[in-house]
Amino acid sequence: MKLTFKIGTLESRIYIIFTIMLFMAIFIMQLVFFKFVTSTVTSSTLENRKTLLNQLVHQIDSYIAGIERISQVILDDNDIENFLENPNDSNLFTGAKNKLTNYKNAREDISNILLYPKNGKTVISDPFGIINPWSPIKENTWYENAISEKGRIVVSESYVQNIILGEYTWVVSLSREIFSPKSGESLGVILVDLKFNRIEELCNSLVLGDMGYDFIIDNDGNYIFHPTQQLINSNLRSEPINKLLNYIRDCSSRYLQDNDKYYISEKSLLTNWNIVSVTDKSDIITDWQNVQVIYTLIGFILFLIVGPATKKISVGITKPIRMLQNKMKTVENGDFNIIGPIKATEELKALAYDYDIMVGKIRELIDTNNRDQELKRKSDLKALQAQINPHFLYNTLDSIIWMGEMGQNREVVQMTSALSKLFRISISKGHEIITIRDEISHVQSYLTIQEMRYQKKFDYLIDIDPELQKYSILKITLQPLVENAIYHGIKESDKTGFIKISGKLLDSVITLSVEDNGDGMSNDMLEKLINGVEYEPETELVPEKNNQGMGLRNVHQRIQLYFGSQFGLSITSILGTGTIISIRIPAKILEKKK
């Protein structure tokens, strides 16, 4: 490719910089891609392996639990029960031995079943087996553990069982002490020896990859099962047991990496075993060298294609930029003036035209943003002012002082507690968004205070479904509506007032209503109130401000500011009957602003 520009010009710099950056980007992307793919695939594979490991733990627990149930079935057998109660009866001994033989023959995974009565002859499931006299049963670990656990099942580690003379079998044993259901006395111990074939099948059934495998150890690092048990026992193969035990105790680690192997462990709550899954690195990422070669070729082809295009683009960019440079100087001073028609090439005219559109939109956005910020500041200020009504606070404190002087201590505590709760929710740790449940608690505290102040002038009912209370709402939304109902609907009325606060959810919109049975309003008064609530600050027709409309206007504008113009307040009233003010907000569970 022949260069037609001089070194040091803008065109040459764009070309050289872009070329270098492209080369570096390809190189960095290759490294990042390798790390990302390796990390992602490894994480995904290990997560999948952990899921399979949880299934394996569940299957092993189910298997051991099934063996426990079998041992209980054996103990519930009438012939077995009769023998244990009368261990010296030869006929019962023969019947018990036959039953054990049948139970053992029914399961290929059971190596042996043994009944060791406290006072009698030992029964084994092998019809031709002879008890090894050189292996005293009471000195076996499984027997001692069964006695110490007082009737609870004990699962042993793997070991060589030599109870039967001439037989030495690797087994896992389940043992338990037997107690008489009649007298509660100890009758002996039952032992069920399990072969490794079923455990091996379970461990091999959920292995991923050619090099993966599962094994089981106890809390001391002793092997319960390993697919290469003989190599482990002969020290021809080993696992990083010490590292594994530290990893198992350190619950914060997701996995243990030792050389090219990843170890994941899950504990069985039933047996207290640690089931360990091993995944080899070669099973996680395969054919990576081919991926690298293909990615390098793609990068090289892109480099050859983009190189000439870079030169052409650099020339096309710099020419119109030079022509527009002087026209755009005013932007540096913050003057967003449009350029207007200029004499230049079509490309430059189009760029100038787009620039004019951009400047115009930026100017409009700045103006709009300034108006929105001003409206938000005004709304926030009004919201802050509406949170604490000084007159309400003074009157409440006067009432507390009056009740204290009258010795009404219980009422003082009740009103003070309600006032404290009211202000605590009003503050809400600076959060503007709270749950409807908290908002109900806030207005209930307000109603408690007002009800005490006005000496049962009114009653109230809050009827909002608990399922609705988990949704979010702007704080201090209901209280101004309730305050409006008391001061402008009930206070001057001759009848006993009643305020009902209700809510419903329909089509993802929550409607909360505050209804009173006060004097209501005429159509003119209602229209004036609605206009006072809904007026726009930009218009010149700002209605006469009054205490009744200030709080409602604050609630309405804050709702629209946070949720949109389709939400807010609606007011209906009938003269002599009462007023209903409804709030419409979206049914959302929003995070509180920090």
The CA-CA-CA angle for residues 125, 127, 131, to 5°, reads: 75
Reported residue count of the chain is 594
Query: Residue 352: exposed, middle, or buried by beta-carbon count in 10 A (0-12, 13-18, 19+)?
Result: buried
pLDDT band for position 558 (cuts 50, 70, 90): confident
Look at 486 and 324; give whichever has higher pLDDT.
486
Distance, CA of 325 to CA of 351 (rounded, Å): 12
The band of 91, judged by pLDDT with boundaries at 50, 70 and 90, is confident
Q: How far apart are CA 158 and CA 110, in angstroms?
A: 14
- Beta-bridge partners for 572: 580
* Residue 50 pLDDT class (50, 70, 90 cuts): confident
If one compares 522 and 37, the residue with the highest pLDDT of the two is 522
More confident residue, 500 or 168: 500
Tokens of 308: 């000439």
The pTM of this model reads 0.45
DSSP string, 22-77: HHHHHHHHHHHHHHHHHHHHHHHHHHHHHHHHHHHHHHHHHHHHHHHHHHHHHHH-
Is the per-residue pLDDT at 389 higher than 70? Answer: no
Residue 462 in tokens: 């809050």
Tell me which residue of 27, 243, 207, 68 sits closest to 151, measured CA to CA.
68
pLDDT band, residue 47 (cuts 50/70/90): confident
The answer on pLDDT for 133 being more than 70 is yes
Say what the pLDDT of residue 591 is: 64
Query: Cα dihedral angle (299, 301, 303, 308), rounded to 10 degrees?
Result: -160
Q: 514 pLDDT band (50/70/90 cuts)?
A: very high
Confidence (pLDDT) at 292: 67
- CA 284 to CA 261: how far, in whole Å? 10
Lowest mean pLDDT among 120-129, 310-319, 565-574: 310-319
Say if residues 212 and 280 touch (Cβ distance below 8 Å).
Answer: yes
- Cβ burial 375-392 (10 Å sphere, 16+ → b, else e): beeebeebbeebbebeeb
What confidence category does residue 210 fall into, taking pLDDT thresholds of 50, 70 and 90? confident
The CA–CA distances, whole Å, from 299 to 22, 40, 292, 350 equal 9, 22, 11, 34
For 179, 337, 361, 372, 525, the CA distances from 366, given in Å and listed in that order, are 87, 14, 8, 10, 39
pLDDT band at 450 (very low <50, low <70, confident <90, very high): confident
Please give the helix or strand (H or E) that residue 400 lies within, else none.
helix 390-405
Establish how many alpha carbons lie within 13 A of residue 86's alpha carbon, considering only the half-sphere containing its beta carbon. 10
The secondary structure element, H or E, covering residue 509 is strand 509-516
Q: Give the model confidence (pLDDT) of 11-34 as tens digits.
A: 667 767 777 777 777 777 777 777
Each as own residue / partner, the long-range contacts of residues 166-171 (CB below 8 Å, 24 or more positions apart, any chain) are 166/130, 166/132, 167/129, 169/111, 169/112, 169/193, 169/195, 170/196, 170/229, 171/111, 171/112, 171/195, 171/196
Candidate from 128-132, 242-246, 500-504 with smallest mean pLDDT: 128-132
**Which pLDDT does position 471 carry in this prediction?**
92
pLDDT at residue 586, rounded to an integer: 93
Name the pLDDT band for 580 (thresholds 50, 70, 90).
very high
Predicted local distance difference test score (pLDDT) of residue 540: 37
The pLDDT value given to residue 205: 82
User: Scanning the structure block, which residue is given the tokens 């979206």?
Assistant: 586
As a whole number, mean pLDDT of residues 236-249 equals: 88
Burial class of 340 by CB neighbour count within 10 A (0 to 12, 13 to 18, 19+) = exposed
The predicted model gives 53-77 an average pLDDT of 87
The whole-chain average pLDDT of the chain stands at 80
Whether residue 220 is predicted with pLDDT greater than 60 in this model: the reply is: yes
Residue 5 has pLDDT above 60, yes or no: no
* pLDDT at 340 (0 to 100): 64
The sign one gets for the Cα dihedral 152, 155, 159, 160 is: positive
Tokens of 217: 């150890």
Question: With helix as H, strand as E and coil as C, how does 173-224 read?
Answer: EEEEEEECCCCCCEEEEEEEEECCHHHHHHHHHCCCCCCCEEEEECCCCCEE
What's the confidence (pLDDT) of residue 541? Answer: 39
Q: Where are the alpha helices (DSSP H) in 209-345?
A: 229-233, 241-249, 281-284, 288-325
pLDDT score recorded for residue 187: 87
Q: How confident is the model at residue 6 (pLDDT cuts 50, 70, 90)?
A: low
Strands 497-506 and 509-516: what pairing? antiparallel
Question: Does 176 or 298 have the greater pLDDT score?
Answer: 176
Sign for the CA dihedral angle at 228, 232, 237, 242 comes to positive
**What's the pLDDT band for 526 if we cut at 50, 70, 90?**
confident
* Confidence band, pLDDT 50/70/90 cuts, at residue 335: low
Q: Which residue did the predictor score with more confidence, 252 or 109?
A: 109
pLDDT band at 10 (very low <50, low <70, confident <90, very high): low
Angle CA(182)–CA(81)–CA(78) in degrees, nearest 5?
115
Exposure b/e, 261-293, CB count within 10 A at least 16 = b = bbbbbbebebbebbbbbbbbbebbeeeeeeeee
Tell me what the mean pLDDT of segment 461-474 comes to: 90
Task: Give me the pLDDT at residue 430, please.
Answer: 63
Give the 3-state secondary structure of residue 366. Answer: helix
